[in-house]
Amino acid sequence: MEVRGSVPPEPAPATAPAIPTQTPRPYEGAWRFTAPAVDSSVPQARHAVRDLIADRQIPADDELLHGLLLIVSELVTNAVRHAALLSPEITVELATGADWVRVAVEDNHPYRPKALQADSSDIGGRGLLLVKAITAEAGGMCDVEHTESGGKVVWAALPLPESAAP
């Protein structure tokens, strides 16, 4: 698994009025990598995101870091288990702004998952419910969006700790 580098933010349209902006922090940007839709990609994606957070010095405290890594694990697991047939490769993205961090997993399967209440005897089926709970507790947001290619992106954005804000 190889991180493909920083994705610069899209430039503002030429007709937009000039808005004063602050200098971006060194940790702001977006990084994407692809992985095969196989079980071994779950820990590899989690480790890659953890390493990116450390390497880019993203100001995530322990609680935020653990939440993000659990979200990555759940989203990659869902893509591997439910989308691999139509999407043999998945894309993981980590993006940060001045006061937020976002993780997303993209696959080429058109099915849009929903958080389900699993029966207490079920050993699975709570991944998206867990992602929603972690995101809500942190004061963030999550969603599922269709891609132009007919697949989907499942993402969660969480606020960075107050001490990281400008």
pLDDT at 123 over 80: no
Res. 7: pLDDT tops 90: no
Average pLDDT over residues 24-39: 93
Question: Does the pLDDT of residue 4 top 60, yes or no?
Answer: no
Mean of pLDDT values over 102-130: 72
pLDDT in tens, 132-165: 999 999 999 999 999 999 999 999 999 999 755 5
Q: Buried b vs exposed e over 8-22: b needs ≥16 C-beta within 10 Å?
A: eeeeeeeeeeeeeee
pLDDT at 36: 96
What is the value of pTM for the model shown?
Answer: 0.79
Angle at 155 between CA 151 and CA 160, to 5 degrees: 160
pLDDT for the residue numbered 13? 47
SS3 111: coil
Q: What is the mean pLDDT of the chain?
A: 83
- Domain positions in the chain are 30-164
Residue 143, C-beta contacts closer than 8 angstroms, at least 6 positions apart: 154, 155
3-state helix, strand and coil shares in percent for the chain, rounded to the nearest 5: 30, 25, 45
**What average pLDDT does the segment 73-85 reach?**
91
Q: Which helix (H) or strand (E) holds 36?
A: strand 29-36
Between CA 36 and CA 39 the distance in angstroms is 9
Check whether domain 30-164 has CATH 3.30.565.10, yes or no: yes
Tell me the pLDDT tens digit for each residue of 16-27.
555 556 788 889
